[in-house]
Amino acid sequence: MRLLMLGGTGFVGPAVVEAALARGWDVTVFHRGRHEPPAGVRSLLGDRTTPDGLAALADGEWDVVVDTWSAAPRAVRDTARLLAGRASRYVYVSSCSVYAWPRGVGCTEAGALVEGASADAEQTDYARDKHGGELAVLDAFGAERSLLVRAGLILGPHEDIGRLPWWLNRIARGGPVLAPGPRDLPLQYVDVRDLAEWVLAAVEGELSGPYNLVSPSGHTTMEALLDACVSATGAEAELRWTEPREVLDAGIEPWVQLPVWFPPGDVHDGIHRLDVSRAVATGLRCRDVSETVADTWAWLRARGGDAPQRDDRPVVGLDPAVEAAVLAG
């Protein structure tokens, strides 16, 4: 297989590239040159936001293109149109954020999508940008040659959002740790390596259409996730389980200040209780949370504990003073 990876030096891209190289695929990475591309690939430089930024893609043919773009949909539009006659299939790593609210429990790929998206749009907001990217791919490649990977929460080594790295670094510091309850709160996430393996297998199986790509709800729980962090770090940390109302009354923002977590309710259900039966039926396999956490901690330690941070996402985590005040009651 000849793979063209658009943006292969961040989080999802390197995982896809590594899995493709392990399969013996021929891999080309198109990137801006901000980071070194993985070893064993052909590197093409370009910036999709600038005039003539796609010049490096003027020639070449590929069996599959994988695109993770998250900003202005017109960048996906221009790339997909350029490659429509020279690539067999286009995989767009989209997001479950494309579904309109309220989602409710068990949202499937047939769920209503956000309104106002356009393939021709400049950057607007994350949900409409991802939906606009989907529209761009469908317009250029058609439904039969497009695979729309509607990923949920993505965790694992090389994470550049900071969610799991924040929890690991916080627990590694030890002492009392604010643990937002309930303990058995079901979580959905996908290890980036499991996402990559499913994507490549889906390409080999010539799958098309949209797929919710995240673990089955309850693959892990808030307690199991944080216990795995304590175990991986070996820290002298004490998880202080705190009722959701107490957390919210302290003005703490779910998801951003306490990554991964939403209290029970409509928002939690829309993020952590999606229907993923279609992906599971087509081969999605999710490794245990302990492996994801341990491997992310090993990667963090190799970096000195400092995780990369995307400049288009908010910095996550809770101020130590706020945490101490809540724990003090």
The answer to whether the beta carbons of residues 252 and 179 sit under 8 Å apart is no
Q: What's the whole-number average pLDDT of the chain? A: 96
Mean pLDDT of the 1-16 span: 93
Does an H or E element contain 66, and which?
A: strand 62-67
Residue 122 token pair: 């400049």
Which residue is listed with tokens 């980071």? 35
For 72, 156, 174, 215, 216, the CA distances from 278, given in Å and listed in that order, are 29, 23, 41, 11, 11
CA 81 to chain centre: 25
Mean pLDDT of the 210-223 span: 97
Residues 40-86 have pLDDT tens digits of 999 999 999 999 999 999 999 999 999 999 999 999 999 999 999 99
**pLDDT class of 9 with cuts at 50, 70, 90:** confident
C-alpha to C-alpha distance for 167 and 109, rounded to whole angstroms:
31
C-alpha dihedral (315, 319, 323, 328), degrees to nearest 10? -170
The answer to whether the beta carbons of residues 140 and 81 sit under 8 Å apart is yes
Percent of the chain residues past pLDDT 70, beyond the cut: 100
Phi, psi of 251 (to 5 degrees): 80, 15
Eight-state DSSP code of residue 254: B
Q: How many residues does the chain have?
A: 329
C-alpha to C-alpha distance for 143 and 187, rounded to whole angstroms:
31
Mean pLDDT of the 178-202 span: 98
Has residue 310 got a pLDDT over 90?
A: no
All structural domains of the chain with their residue ranges: 2-151, 159-187+216-275+287-328
**163-172 and 222-233 are packed helices; what angle lies between their axes, rounded to 10 degrees?**
50
Nearest Cα neighbor of 136 from 123, 116, 120, 156 is 120
Assign a CATH topology to domain 2-151. Answer: Rossmann fold (3.40.50)
In 17-61 the beta strands, taken as DSSP E runs, fall at: 26-31, 42-45
C-alpha to C-alpha distance for 161 and 63, rounded to whole angstroms:
30
Residues 116-141 have pLDDT tens digits of 999 999 999 999 999 999 999 999 99
Residue 53 token pair: 């930024």
3-state secondary structure of 264: coil
Has residue 221 got a pLDDT over 90?
A: yes
Amino acid at 66: V
C-alpha dihedral (150, 257, 159, 125), degrees to nearest 10? 40
The count of other CB atoms within 10 Å of the CB of residue 204 is 14
Assign a CATH topology to domain 159-187+216-275+287-328. Answer: UDP-galactose 4-epimerase; domain 1 (3.90.25)
Pairing label, strands 186-187, 220-221: antiparallel
Residue 101 token pair: 């609210």
C-alpha to C-alpha distance for 138 and 120, rounded to whole angstroms:
13
